[in-house]
């Protein structure tokens, strides 16, 4: 087990302040080395939010004029770079005396114990040991330091020496050796000494990469009508519907209620598609021949890239499409096809560019721009995130009998995804990678997740046993940008919390440095009065069911496209970052949301309790002061609203010194994760549909029925109170309505004659009267209201 793993107790679930050494500090070496350090005094730097990590870079470009083996008459060369105990090899060529590699090796300076860099050129042998052709040796003290933004160091030709270094041999290699940092352009694609144990396809899976989400569009298909529908069985009139398919997405119109050859629907079918458009829109008109049989009577196949792209709410032109029973469709009037078309379909099809395609929940959305780039505004800020390190990670898998973790971090904001490099077999990985995003709206959230890489080609086994090789979740962090002060660097250690069937578990800590820079304060303030989503979401909104279905399809498309990148951002990673299962039922989450609502009304409840104490004269001094304030407000009613706003202003000023000093993080108490029942957790992690035994499913169903019964009772009580208000004037109870009507007449006359200030004063004094003048029984209005009828007695 990891000795540095943090034990699970509640104090470790909190955010912690950290003070890392951020910025640049360069070793001063001069032309031939030397001691000391140079501190960077620049106001800005590309890598000023991370701790600097120094690497020795060796670029192997090519070789020429290599000698051939006397026995085989050929040369199969490759380069071996050796620094101390670390050794890296280039690709091996067959029968080539002038090979080109163009490969970079990076050795961590902290782990280099050698004073020389050795570059060996070797000839591969199939039977015997590989021969040494020659070598080039560099003294570590003479390696130059490259300080960005200097241009890359130019490689030079070096003559090979024999193994003893006594004489020169035939052949030359082109090399460049320098000292640099993770900010070097060669760093992302370099071979790293930290990952020397990874070979073949695993090397691609450990590199840091930046991904861009595919450009998503909503495809709106308005099916208007069809003409000349001829079923296979012409003895019966057709009863048809239209089925539309884009990839794996299939939607159908309603069945035309009348049997006719010219059916009408006027229904919208909405799909999610991504550029480049790989799928076609396939529309089929199908006849309901019997209860269990649908027959295709016509089909049309449309290319997506030829469809009109709508940028506003104005309707697009409708078009008639000819359908054929077995073939492909064509526009009416197309002379290139001699086939006879029997059915015509009237459609209005367009790609919606004024919507934002939701692949995230609106509660923690990271991008709100519409699809069409022509509608984008200028950015209002810059978000910079330094992913420093993780501490105390737990072992995630077993490899060669050892418990280990190969961690990498993924961040998602807007269309840009980033993935850090994978740190091999380390419970305290240090990435020190910095990334930048443009911010178009501060009311957005950046999501960061830490995962264990299970695709290194080494036969890893999950820590919990067998199963599919998927990248395991270590934890997730969300930061809302609107809670950050501008131009301030936040350096904190975030707990990585994961809810498992066994309970809440802390998997480690993620250290981040975050800075939000404002580019235009006026534009940012202006955004606070604008809608959260593009205006098309409000002019032509989708239904809740449509939004849920479209979001699920968008997540699938994004996951498939990013999993085809190199290295792939795998489906399980994308789904975890986008919270694909956030809509699933959870007793724990339901309790958490209920208590969130209760906490909202806690202030109102506290005020009502305080007013009750004032009315009962529990503190006479407070009650007298309330009487004085009440008299002032009655005499000067124009002071009521200014007093309320002044009071809220003073509360805001007073709370300024109590403001949060750190970003928000995952709150275990708010999430109701600390006191959750094990069976509720087991239900939350159950599959859909359930995979549990029948008695367990029955028990959970009965529990859900009891909870729903209590909700049903509360909803019934609310409906009863509303119906009693309606009964005041509905004459369902003639005597009660008569009394209320007479009371209204008397109240109207009294209020018309008596000044409003007197009415208010008398009402307030009556409400604040001393307990000696109060009765413990309910008031007359309350008794009257409770006697009013409702529709509850008419319910079955």
Contact 459, 383 (CB under 8 A): no
Q: What are phi and psi of 150, to 5 degrees?
A: -60, 150
**Confidence at residue 584, expressed as pLDDT on a 0 to 100 scale:** 79
Classify strands 343-352 and 308-310 as parallel, antiparallel or unpaired.
parallel
**The domain defined by 54-193 carries CATH number 2.60.40.150:** yes
Give residue 752's pLDDT: 87
Instruction: Read off the pLDDT of each residue in 638-667 and give the average, rounded to a whole number.
Output: 86
pLDDT of residue 460: 53
Structure tokens at 182: 């993770």
The pLDDT assigned to 42 comes to 39
Rounded to an integer, what distance in angstroms lies between the CA atom of residue 447 and that of residue 416? Answer: 11
**Are the C-beta atoms of 410 and 391 separated by less than 8 Å?**
no
Question: CA-to-CA distance for 567 and 571, rounded, in angstroms?
Answer: 12
| Reported confidence tier of residue 411, pLDDT bands at 50, 70, 90 | very high
What does the alpha-carbon distance between residue 335 and residue 330 come to, in Å, rounded to a whole number? Answer: 9
Residue 455 is encoded by which pair of tokens? 């695709």
CA pseudo-torsion sign 370, 373, 378, 381: positive
Q: What's the angle, vertex CA 588, arms to CA 584 and CA 591, rounded to 5?
A: 110
**Can you give the pTM of this predicted structure?**
0.81
Task: For residue range 306-322, list pLDDT tens digits in order.
Answer: 999 999 888 899 999 98
Give CA separation, 64 vs 160, 164, 644, in Å. Answer: 11, 21, 85
Just give the CATH number of 215-327+340-352.
2.60.40.150
Q: What percent of the chain has pLDDT over 70?
A: 91
Where do the domains of the chain lie? 54-193, 215-327+340-352, 381-456+467-527+535-577, 587-794
Alpha carbon distance 325, 285 (integer Å): 9
218-245 pLDDT, tens per residue? 999 999 999 888 777 776 777 889 999 9
Those residues whose C-beta lies under 8 Å from the C-beta of residue 602, and which sit 6 or more positions away, are: none
Task: Compute the average pLDDT of residues 612-625.
Answer: 86
Average pLDDT over residues 749-777: 83
- Mean pLDDT, residues 96-118: 88
According to the model, what pLDDT value does residue 462 have?
A: 52
Distance CA 208, CA 380 (A): 28
**Helix 587-600 with 694-727: angle, nearest 10 deg:** 30
Q: What is the pLDDT of residue 132?
A: 84
Closest CA to 665 of 437, 488, 511, 476: 476
Same fold, 54-193 and 381-456+467-527+535-577: yes
pLDDT of residue 461: 54
Out of 410-419, 645-654, 662-671, pick the least confident.
662-671
Edge-to-edge strand order for the sheet containing 54-64? 86-89, 77-83, 116-123, 131-139, 156-161, 168-181, 54-64, 100-108, 191-192
Q: Which of 597, 535, 627 is nearest to 311 (CA)?
A: 535
What is the pLDDT at residue 780? 85
Q: Is 330 a residue whose pLDDT tops 50?
A: no
* pLDDT at residue number 152: 85
How sure is the predictor about 115, in pLDDT bands with cuts at 50, 70 and 90? confident
Overall average pLDDT of the 265-290 stretch: 90
What confidence tens digit (pLDDT) does each residue in 119-177 have?
Answer: 999 888 766 677 788 899 999 888 898 877 778 889 999 999 988 877 888 889 999 99
- Parallel, antiparallel, or unpaired: how do β-strands 407-413 and 430-439 relate? unpaired
- CA 298 to CA 340: how far, in whole Å? 12
Helix axes 734-753, 756-767, angle to 10 degrees: 120
685 versus 210: which is more confidently predicted? 210
- The rounded distance, in Å, linking the Cα atoms of 672 and 685 is 16
Q: At the top level of CATH, which class does the domain 381-456+467-527+535-577 belong to?
A: mainly beta
């Amino acid at each position: 087990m990891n000795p540095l793993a943090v034990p699970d107790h509640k104090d470790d679930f909190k955010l912690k302040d950290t003070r890392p050494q951020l910025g640049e500090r360069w070793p001063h070496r001069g032309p031939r080395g030397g001691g000391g350090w140079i501190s960077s005094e620049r106001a800005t730097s590309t890598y000023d939010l991370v701790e600097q990590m120094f690497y020795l870079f060796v670029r192997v470009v090519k070789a020429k004029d290599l000698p051939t083996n006397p026995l085989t008459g050929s040369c199969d060369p490759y380069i071996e770079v050796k620094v101390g105990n670390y050794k890296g090899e280039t690709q091996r060529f067959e029968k080539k005396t002038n090979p080109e590699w163009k490969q970079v090796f990076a050795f961590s300076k902290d782990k280099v114990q050698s004073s020389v860099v050795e570059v060996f050129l070797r000839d591969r042998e199939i039977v015997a040991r590989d021969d040494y052709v020659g070598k080039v040796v560099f003294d570590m003290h003479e390696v130059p330091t490259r300080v960005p933004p200097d241009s890359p160091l130019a490689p030079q030709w070096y003559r090979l020496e024999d193994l003893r270094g006594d004489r020169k041999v035939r052949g030359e290699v082109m090399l460049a050796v320098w000292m640099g940092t993770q900010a070097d352009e060669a760093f992302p694609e370099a071979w790293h000494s930290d990952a020397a144990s990874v070979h073949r396809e695993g090397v691609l899976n450990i590199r840091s990469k930046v991904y861009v989400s595919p450009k998503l569009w909503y495809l709106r298909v308005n099916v208007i009508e069809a003409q000349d529908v001829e079923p296979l069985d012409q003895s019966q009139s057709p009863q048809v519907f239209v089925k539309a398919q884009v990839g794996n997405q299939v939607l159908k119109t309603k069945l035309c209620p009348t049997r006719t050859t010219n059916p009408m629907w006027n229904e919208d079918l909405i799909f999610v598609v991504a550029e480049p458009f790989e799928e076609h829109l396939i529309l089929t008109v199908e006849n309901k021949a019997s209860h269990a049989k649908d027959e295709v009577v016509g089909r049309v196949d449309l290319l997506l890239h030829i469809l009109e792209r709508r940028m506003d709410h104005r309707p697009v032109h409708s078009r008639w499409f000819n359908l054929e029973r077995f073939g492909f469709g064509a526009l009416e009037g197309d002379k290139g096809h001699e086939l006879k078309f029997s059915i015509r379909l009237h459609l209005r099809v367009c790609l919606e560019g004024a919507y934002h395609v939701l692949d995230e929940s609106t509660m923690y959305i990271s991008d709100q721009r519409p699809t069409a780039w022509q509608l984008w505004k200028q950015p209002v800020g810059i978000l910079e995130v330094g992913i420093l390190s993780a501490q105390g990670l737990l072992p995630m898998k077993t490899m060669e009998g050892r418990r280990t973790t190969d961690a990498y971090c993924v961040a998602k904001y807007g269309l840009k995804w980033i993935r850090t490099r994978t740190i091999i077999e380390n419970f305290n990985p240090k990435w020190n990678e910095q990334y930048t995003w443009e911010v178009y709206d501060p009311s957005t959230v950046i999501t960061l997740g830490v995962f264990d890489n299970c695709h290194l080609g080494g036969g890893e086994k999950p820590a919990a046993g067998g199963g599919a090789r998927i990248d395991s979740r270590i934890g997730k962090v969300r930061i809302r940008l609107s809670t950050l002060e501008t131009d301030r660097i936040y350096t904190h250690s975030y707990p990585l919390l994961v809810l498992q069937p066994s309970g809440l578990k802390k998997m480690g800590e993620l250290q981040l440095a975050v800075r939000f820079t404002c580019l235009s304060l006026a534009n940012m303030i202006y955004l606070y009065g604008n809608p959260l989503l593009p205006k098309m979401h409000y002019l032509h909104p989708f239904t809740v069911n449509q939004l849920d279905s479209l979001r699920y399809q968008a997540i699938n498309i994004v996951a498939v496209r990013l999993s085809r990148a190199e290295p792939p951002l795998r489906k399980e990673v994308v789904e975890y970052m986008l919270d694909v299962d956030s809509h699933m039922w959870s007793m724990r989450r339901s309790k958490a949301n209920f208590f969130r609502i209760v906490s909202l009304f806690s202030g109102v409840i506290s005020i009502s309790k305080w007013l009750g104490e004032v009315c009962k004269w529990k503190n006479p001094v407070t009650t007298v002061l309330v009487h004085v304030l009440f008299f002032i407000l009655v005499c000067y009613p124009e002071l009521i609203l200014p007093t309320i706003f002044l009071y809220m202003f003073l509360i805001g000023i007073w709370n300024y010194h109590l403001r949060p000093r750190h970003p928000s993080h995952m709150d275990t108490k708010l999430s109701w994760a600390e006191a959750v029942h094990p069976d509720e957790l087991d239900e939350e992690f159950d599959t859909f549909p359930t995979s549990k035994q029948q008695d367990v499913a029955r028990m959970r169903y009965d529990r859900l029925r009891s909870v729903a019964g209590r909700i049903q009772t509360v909803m019934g009580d609310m409906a009863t109170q509303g119906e009693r208000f309606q009964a005041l004037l509905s004459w369902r109870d003639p005597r009660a309505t008569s009394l209320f009507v007479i009371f209204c007449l008397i109240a109207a006359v009294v209020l018309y004659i008596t000044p409003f200030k007197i009415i208010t004063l008398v009402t307030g004094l009556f409400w604040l009267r001393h307990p000696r003048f109060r009765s413990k029984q309910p008031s007359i209005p309350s008794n009257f209201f409770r006697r009013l009828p409702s529709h509850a007695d008419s319910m079955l």
